[in-house]
Structure 1
Amino acid sequence: MKQTRVAVLLVASCIFTLNAFAQDETPTDAEGCKDSPLITRMPGSLIKSCENKEFDQAEMPADKDAEGNIQQKTLEGELHTWDYGTRAGVSEIQVFRNFETALKQAGFSIVFEQSPGTITAHKGNTWFMLDNKGEFYYQTVITVKQMTQEVTADASSIADELNKSGHIALYGIHFESGKAAILPDSESVLGEIAKMLQQNPDVKISVEGHTDNVGSAASNQALSEKRAQAVVTWLTSHGVAAARLKAKGWGQSKPLADNGSDEGRGKNRRVELVKAS
């Protein structure tokens, strides 16, 4: 009888241990990750990873050209990404239709969709993208906004760099996406360029525009020329003699970094000042 009780206790102990082990192994969301408040997850899904950035860039499919090639829209702002794994038995089209309906119900406008893989939608200045693989899906949300400029180029540092290396790349001059219209937050940097030229009356510069490789080479060339000319126009309207300035565009032909990443493309989109003779 005593042996029977011991055996029962041992079996019970094993069952308890196995249950505890099974509970410990229950899949959970990645640490520190939670859903976007804008849209819920597919039921039964788990967050495998997530990333949050105060300011970054994202590309989302937005249209197709006449040849059927997908055209990307480049957006900048507060960026959040999630990688979800779905429960067993969920199909790609099931995930796609759920998000398509949920986005519309939440007031989003569908900008682009390619069933069953991709949806791009926006509501105000918030953009959403679903990249759906069925067994897992990626979710991207970006709230478009201007970057808070934390590093500034002043007249003295611009002059020093021009004297030292003959050129300087500036990233504080911002334009409307795909256009040459200068955004208001660029005026502090432009003002320092004008100040540098006023303090160094013998200096002449070439203002040179550069782009990433998103879009055609021809359109990027034209855009870079227009942006360079927009900077020259701003400077002449603020007292700099036109004879001291010229505008030139290089398009995507002179990258500083690999265009294969958002960071690289951001580095390639720039205005350079080149000291002219």
Structure 2
Amino acid sequence: MFISTQINAQNVLDNPLILQLSGYELVYNESKFDEIEFPMSEVDIFPLSGNKTFATFRYDKNNAYKHPNSNQIMQTYFDKVKSLRGKPLFKGSNYGSFQVRSNTKKFWCVLETHENGATYTVTIIEQEKIQEAETAQEMLEMLKSKGEVNLYFQFSTGSANLSQASFQNIKEVAKLLNRFAPRLNLSIEGHTDNVGNVDSNKKLSLQRAVAVKNELIKNGVKSERLETIGWGSEKPIAPNDSEVGRLKNRRVSIKALN
């Protein structure tokens, strides 16, 4: 069970990813470990877990000036994201998403406006960087030193459908195989946490490994260089008694075969 707690308003406002626009007041905020449905587009939505900060702002009705509309709020936020060297992901008429990274963390953010800007909400999921390597060169170095790299592709809950958020990982693995190590063969191994049926988890983990393989083939990697295995929950790398541990266990590892 998740525990929700009110957090000090000043702590919220000190967060550079939460903007209190002129004329607005902070009317609600909370912090907890949670999972949200994160939008990458109108149709590409995937589950995302981490430390969540949520804030709601409402325009002061006593203010003599008209509040900004949804488009103006969106633009103000996306300009701020660019100033933080963040990455806009999706921008709709009344909600948008973006990502900002530090050296040790990732911040996934959703902005949503209501009543054409009379209120707006900000949801931030903060994640420790658990992926061991993010570029093709880093993956190669880790394969040389450890023989294995744990990667975190984004799948829809309970399915093997890769989200667009995973395509950058796919491109880097393809670059590893096509450019940096053209003779390397890989075992692609799916893993789950221990929630759910053991047999179903094993089947799902194999389906996810196959999905990664298929995308690599689309990116020019020959199928005979890739093997797939589904381990289910048999090989955890963290305790399954917490959300953070289960998050680390939901992975696809790549192993050098030669």
Which TM-score tier does this pair reach, normalised by the shorter chain?
0.5 to 0.7
Per the alignment, residue 32 of structure 1 pairs with 8
Among 8, 28, 31, the alignment partner of 1:52 is 31
Per the alignment, residue 194 of structure 2 pairs with 213
Identity of aligned residues (%): 35
Per the alignment, residue 138 of structure 2 pairs with 157
- Does the Cα contact within 8 Å between 2:6 and 2:31 map onto a contact in 1? no
Q: CA shift at 1:205, angstroms?
A: 0.2
Q: CA shift at 1:57, angstroms?
A: 3.9
Per the alignment, residue 248 of structure 1 pairs with 229
Task: Give the length in aligned residue pairs.
Answer: 158
CA distance in structure 2 between the aligned counterparts of 1:206 and 1:213, rounded to whole angstroms: 22
1:76 is the counterpart of 2:16:
no
Per the alignment, residue 89 of structure 1 pairs with none
SS at match of 1:273: strand
SS at match of 2:253: strand
| 1:215 counterpart letter in structure 2 | G
Q: CA shift at 1:187, angstroms?
A: 0.8
| 1:79 counterpart letter in structure 2 | K
- Does the Cα contact within 8 Å between 2:156 and 2:162 map onto a contact in 1? yes
CA distance in structure 1 between the aligned counterparts of 2:150 and 2:51, rounded to whole angstroms: 24
Per the alignment, residue 172 of structure 2 pairs with 192
Among 233, 242, 245, the alignment partner of 1:261 is 242
Q: CA shift at 1:197, angstroms?
A: 0.2
1:174 is the counterpart of 2:167:
no
SS at match of 1:272: strand
Task: After superposition, give the CA deviation of every residue in 1:196-223 in whole Å (9 maximum; x if it has no partner).
Answer: 0012111000000000011111110000
**RMSD between superposed Cα atoms in Å:** 3.5
SS at match of 2:211: helix
SS at match of 1:214: coil
Q: CA shift at 1:78, angstroms?
A: 6.8
- Does the Cα contact within 8 Å between 2:177 and 2:221 map onto a contact in 1? yes
Could you tell me the TM-score, scaled by structure 1's length? Answer: 0.50
Higher-Rg member (1/2): 1
Q: CA shift at 1:189, angstroms?
A: 1.1
CA distance in structure 2 between the aligned counterparts of 1:144 and 1:183, rounded to whole angstroms: 19
Unaligned runs of 5+ in 1: 1-28, 35-49, 60-73, 82-125, 127-141
CA distance in structure 2 between the aligned counterparts of 1:178 and 1:77, rounded to whole angstroms: 18
Q: 1:153 to 1:31 in 2, by over 3 A?
A: closer
CA distance in structure 1 between the aligned counterparts of 2:6 and 2:209, rounded to whole angstroms: 46
CA distance in structure 2 between the aligned counterparts of 1:75 and 1:169, rounded to whole angstroms: 18
Q: 1:232 to 1:198 in 2, by over 3 A?
A: same
Q: 1:236 to 1:80 in 2, by over 3 A?
A: same
CA distance in structure 2 between the aligned counterparts of 1:185 and 1:80, rounded to whole angstroms: 21
Could you tell me the TM-score, scaled by structure 2's length? Answer: 0.53
Task: After superposition, give the CA deviation of every residue in 1:36-71 in whole Å (9 maximum; x if it has no partner).
Answer: xxxxxxxxxxxxxx9626xx5449xxxxxxxxxxxx
Q: 1:31 to 1:202 in 2, by over 3 A?
A: closer
Unaligned runs of 5+ in 2: 11-28, 37-46, 55-111, 113-121
- Does the Cα contact within 8 Å between 1:75 and 1:144 map onto a contact in 2? no
CA distance in structure 2 between the aligned counterparts of 1:226 and 1:263, rounded to whole angstroms: 23
Per the alignment, residue 226 of structure 1 pairs with 207
Q: 1:32 to 1:269 in 2, by over 3 A?
A: same
CA distance in structure 1 between the aligned counterparts of 2:164 and 2:211, rounded to whole angstroms: 13
